[in-house]
Structure 1
Amino acid sequence: MLPLTDAAIRSSFVNATKREIRDAVLPDLGTLDWDRLDLLGWRDTTKDNTGYVVVDIDGTAVGVRFTTASRTGPRRRTLCSWCQDVIVADDVTLYVARRGGAPGRRGDTIGTLICSDFGCNGNVRRPPTLTEVGSADEQDRLNLIDRRIDGLRQRSTDFVWQILATR
């Protein structure tokens, strides 16, 4: 992912009000390893139920504001729909986002299960287990990591396209 500025991130949001954008608490951009990010995701430190994701779509940063769905009952082991990491399966949250444009203003939303801390970038780069690879060959391990990265990019981008859909 190309490095982004505070202004570029704030101008990228497609489903947030001007006030929500202004009040968003951004991560420390200077500490990020942009070469290892396929998406920029973070929780708002001042609002426990708010998160943000910025993805690159055809060279353009597109940001989405999420809220967490209220949880009732016991926590269940669940798979993140973006990174699909089979090892980290218990720290996943249902995130809900307003659709962009007129559908969002009418209250239309869409939800998905994502790692609670948006740790998908690290999860897809995690060294795979022998069982996951099915081979001890290092090249097979690297190929699996590349497929995971491609899958994360595709699934997160597909979700953002759903946010942008105006039907």
Structure 2
Amino acid sequence: MPRGSGPCTVHRVEALTDRQIRASFVNCTKGEVARLKLPLDFAELPWEDLDFLGWVDPGAPLRAHLVLPREDGPLGVTLRVPATGRTSAVKSSMCQVCLTGHASSGVTLLVAPLAGSRGREGNTVGIYLCADLACSLYVRGRRQPKLRGRRHEESLTVEEQVARLTGNLNAFVDRVTAG
């Protein structure tokens, strides 16, 4: 059974140390983990508003990282940010995790190598996410998308939106860790 799989339970991410973050990764080499750079604002992160830790690597801008709280401890996955040309701000896109609409440049395809031998063979899965990986802040109204200046109205409570966000992200990570 994949690490952390099972019924989706919402766990807020607790403040993590550099060591805990680096030990959590399941789909990259020890060398890649050693080279990853933590977010520039790591000391000031709003942990109380985060359902997962996500950032674009300041030392390698085509790499991104996610660390999710799981029942058996934090689970980290590394992702690639495909190099793409400019996109039109007239188009809009939606994050598949938090369902926030953005100008198309505010959502990006992130591709994760699968954990284990399948990932070493080059197998990947992808997901469209907020380019700044601030899904938790959008859901809580702490950050506003550039598309029309505000997030779309929903009938769900913030807690229900957080549960949906967590479920969507856990489903993606389960695909990374499966098999």
The TM-score with structure 1 as length reference comes to 0.85
Please name the residue that 1:61 is paired with: 74
Work out whether 1:45 is the aligned partner of 2:58. Answer: yes
Deviations along 1:19-54, whole A, 9 cap, x unmatched?
110000012432112111100000111212111000
The TM-score with structure 2 as length reference comes to 0.80
Please name the residue that 1:156 is paired with: 169
Work out whether 1:114 is the aligned partner of 2:129. Answer: yes
Deviations along 1:79-117, whole A, 9 cap, x unmatched?
00011013x343000000100011111111000000111
Q: Letter of the 1:30 partner, please give it.
A: A
Please name the residue that 1:6 is paired with: 18
The separation in 2 between residues aligned to 1:133 and 1:3, in whole angstroms, is 29
Work out whether 1:93 is the aligned partner of 2:108. Answer: yes
Q: Letter of the 2:32 partner, please give it.
A: E
- Structure 1: gaps (5+ residues): 135-142
**Cα RMSD (Å):** 2.2
The separation in 1 between residues aligned to 2:21 and 2:121, in whole angstroms, is 25
Deviations along 1:36-73, whole A, 9 cap, x unmatched?
11000001112121110000122410001011123257
Please name the residue that 1:140 is paired with: none
Work out whether 1:15 is the aligned partner of 2:27. Answer: yes
Q: Letter of the 1:3 partner, please give it.
A: A
- Contact 1:5–1:29 under 8 Å retained in 2: no
The separation in 2 between residues aligned to 1:133 and 1:105, in whole angstroms, is 41
Q: Letter of the 2:126 partner, please give it.
A: G
Please state whether the residue corresponding to 1:156 is helix, strand or coil.
Answer: helix
The separation in 2 between residues aligned to 1:5 and 1:74, in whole angstroms, is 36
Work out whether 1:83 is the aligned partner of 2:104. Answer: no
- Structure 2: gaps (5+ residues): 1-12, 145-149
> Greater CA radius of gyration, 1 or 2?
1
Please point out which of 121, 126, 132 is paired with 2:153: 132
The separation in 2 between residues aligned to 1:83 and 1:2, in whole angstroms, is 20
The separation in 1 between residues aligned to 2:22 and 2:62, in whole angstroms, is 19
Please name the residue that 1:139 is paired with: none
> Which of the pair is proportionally richer in helix?
1
Please name the residue that 1:32 is paired with: 45
Shift in Å, 1:163: 0.5
